Amino acid sequence: MNQTSLSKLSTKELIKKHTAAKTMVWLLSIVLGGILLFFIYVSFQDGITPLLAVPLALSAIIPLNIKNMKALKKELDSRK
């Protein structure tokens, strides 16, 4: 999300987007953590499974969302 599109949004819309992004980061972290633990458990039971790569690969989404949250927060702080 570039700065020009953020500057065109209202403060209420920015707050809504920031809250949504924050919620998604937390939910994704919890779900990926649970999946990782489950696949580790399955690996102990049946041997190494390639499914361990799924939560590790999807965890790359989290830093991108955190970067987006920081941009939203920066724009909100600049308006106060």
The pLDDT of 38-43, averaged and rounded, is: 93
Whether residue 76 lies inside any domain: the answer is: yes
Whether residue 23 lies inside any domain: the answer is: no
Whether residue 8 lies inside any domain: the answer is: no
What is the pLDDT, as a whole number, of residue 2? 60
User: Using CA atoms, how far apart are residues 21 and 24, in angstroms rounded to an integer?
Assistant: 5
Range of the domain at 52: 29-80
Number of structural domains in the chain: 1
What mean pLDDT, rounded, does the chain reach? 91
What is the pLDDT, as a whole number, of residue 3? 61
Q: Which residue has the higher pLDDT, 80 or 36?
A: 36
Whether residue 57 lies inside any domain: the answer is: yes
Whether residue 35 lies inside any domain: the answer is: yes
Is the model's pTM score more than 0.85? Answer: no
Whether residue 44 lies inside any domain: the answer is: yes
Whether residue 49 lies inside any domain: the answer is: yes
